[in-house]
Amino acid sequence: MDHADILIDVASVAKHYGEGDTRVDALRAVDLQVKAGEVIALLGPSGSGKTTLLNIIGCILDPSSGQVALDGEMVFDGKWLRGDLRRLRLEKIGFIFQAHNLLPFLTAEENVAVVLDLAGWPSSKGRARANELLDYLEVGHRAKVKPALLSGGEAQRVAIARALANKPRIILADEPTAALDSSRAQLVMDLLRRLAEEQQACIVTVTHDEKIFNRFDRLVHLRDGRLSDR
Ligand SMILES: Nc1ncnc2c1ncn2[C@@H]1O[C@H](COP(=O)(O)OP(=O)(O)O)[C@@H](O)[C@H]1O
Ligand SMILES: [Mg+2]
């Protein structure tokens, strides 16, 4: 494997919450490498640390120890090596949360464009990009509508458009298809896979949905704070 193709490189990452009697060891020693174009599923029972690991890769939660490198850049080695984690996230990471997290007072189009504003895109280019993505996700006809009027599936696709807007090479998703029926879930996974190929991105998805297991290159399991391929 060409080293430059490794977009996520997690080494010996541990995470515990609390101390003493209340200490929970969510991750003990996790190693994970994901390369460009790869779409992987992160599996494991409830409480096995899936969200914890995703949040660490997404730079929104501190590991207790270990190293994290993203797109060839060491970003955590016992401590964060970048002062501005928000900027790092904007540049490299698209996060699709379990609940869609859209801003209720903005239209679908504005919910996507706001991320591009923050990333410094001129607003006309941001709008064009937002509409292009909404069209691609077959929700362009709902661009001027606010989230309250969108169906669950439409809102989730708008949230996916927002996560992909800045062309991140690392896409993280926490049960992105949980709110969708089976055929919509397949559609969303197909779209994510197509985007991963086109943008040479990688995708790590937490899922319990056995109906979409065939859409992944690799299934990895979290158990007792460790990852295994079986
Ligand atoms: N903020 C927190 N404070 C204390 N314990 C937590 C916190 N977040 C998660 N945990 C615990 O860490 C373990 C892993 O949680 P989580 O990563 O949410 O698992 P999963 O997403 O696989 O259900 C669980 O035992 C959970 O109770
Ligand atoms: Mg979780």
Q: Could you tell which of 52, 53, 57, 208 is best to mutate to test the pocket of ligand 1, judged by most ligand atoms within 8 Å of the CB?
A: 52
Distance from residue 190's CA to the centre of ligand 1 (Å): 30
Q: What is the DSSP letter of 80?
A: B
Residue nearest ligand 1's atom 5 by CA: 17
CA distance 63 to 81: 13
What is the chain's pLDDT, residue by residue, as a tens digit (230 residues)?
556 699 999 999 999 999 999 999 999 999 999 999 999 999 999 999 999 999 999 999 999 999 999 999 999 999 999 989 988 998 899 998 877 789 999 999 999 999 999 889 999 999 999 999 999 888 999 999 999 999 988 998 899 999 989 989 999 999 887 777 777 788 778 888 988 898 899 999 998 888 788 889 999 999 989 998 76
Distance from residue 204's CA to the centre of ligand 2 (Å): 13
Residue nearest ligand 1's atom 12 by CA: 26
Report yes or no on whether pTM surpasses 0.85: yes
Atom of ligand 1 nearest to the CA of 45: 22
pLDDT value for 180: 74
- Which amino acid, one-letter code, is at 11? A
Distance from residue 120's CA to the centre of ligand 1 (Å): 34
Q: Which residues make up the environment of ion ligand 2, defined by Cβ < 5 Å?
A: 50-51
pLDDT value for 101: 84
Atom of ligand 1 nearest to the CA of 15: 12
Distance from residue 16's CA to the centre of ligand 1 (Å): 9
Q: Could you tell which of 23, 48, 55, 175 is best to mutate to test the pocket of ligand 1, judged by most ligand atoms within 8 Å of the CB?
A: 48
pLDDT value for 4: 66
- Considering every ligand atom shown, identify the ligand nearest to the alpha carbon of residue 55 and give its number: 1
The residues lining ligand 1, judged by C-beta closer than 6 Å to any ligand atom, are: 17-18, 24, 26, 44, 46-52
For the chain, domains (ranges, CATH) are 3-228 (3.40.50.300)
pLDDT value for 190: 85
Beta strand 202-206 pairing with 170-174: parallel
Biggest distance spanned by C-alpha atoms of the chain: 55
Give the position of tokens 């990333």: 119
Question: Is-contact 74 81, C-beta < 8 A?
Answer: yes
DSSP H or E run through 72:
none
Distance from residue 49's CA to the centre of ligand 1 (Å): 6
Distance from residue 41's CA to the centre of ligand 2 (Å): 13
- Considering every ligand atom shown, identify the ligand nearest to the alpha carbon of residue 99 and give its number: 2
Q: What is the DSSP letter of 179?
A: T
